[in-house]
Amino acid sequence: MDAHFQYRIFIFTVTLTGSLAFPPQKILSEERTRSHHDITQEGIYKAVANILNEKYFAGSQNGNPVRVVSNFFASDSNGLQQFESAIDEIVQSSNTIQQDNGHIAFYTVNAEQIERAHIQMQTKYSEIRRLSRNGNNVDISFVRQKIGEFLFTLQEFYSNTNWVEIEEWKQSADIQIYSELGLYGFSTIS
């Protein structure tokens, strides 16, 4: 085969091949495909399991985060259902952001918009903290909406950048924004 023919086969194959991405919701026919819903649910379960294990179980409940959360709710199936509904509400907010703002580069951390996305995440984080501290006047649905918005951009950062692959940058003083987004033990938000 000549090189020109091989090139045409390559281009033809690339145009027929679908791109890989995380769909917003589960695709029932694709069991191995992980969605934003799956990633968000798993992350929330892990975070809550860590807090429960530290504060409630005094470190005695290691292992599967779903089991730790289920053990916490034990006989309170209504509480577990409310917990799972809260996760679904956060995911729905993330999906709404994707539908409404997925074309805006700093929401999806595309087109060199890392710094602007970082500023947006800091703003959302501050807003979540402020809204959560309103005592009895907390609109928990609105807080969950803001958490979903925050998590969408955070997930897009890891999905759409090569941050985890840039080993040589980890030592550079020119990447302050990356440091603030999680390198070397820094939190993803300041």
Question: DSSP state, 161?
Answer: S
Give 135-190 pLDDT, tens digit per residue. Answer: 888 899 999 999 999 998 888 887 887 766 665 555 555 555 555 554 443 334 44
Q: Provide the strand spans (E) within the chain.
A: none
Average pLDDT, the chain: 76
Q: What is the pTM of this model?
A: 0.70
> pLDDT at position 185, please?
39
pLDDT of 7 over the 60 cut: no
Give 108-128 pLDDT, tens digit per residue. Answer: 888 778 888 889 999 999 999
Higher pLDDT pick, 145 / 35: 145
Range in 3-17, 37-51, 102-116, 157-171 with the lowest mean pLDDT: 3-17
| Token pair listed for 87 | 């996760």
> pLDDT at position 11, please?
45
Smallest Cα–Cα separation from 40: which of 80, 81, 95?
Answer: 95
Q: What distance in Å separates the CA atoms of residue 144 and residue 85, rounded to the nearest whole number? A: 11
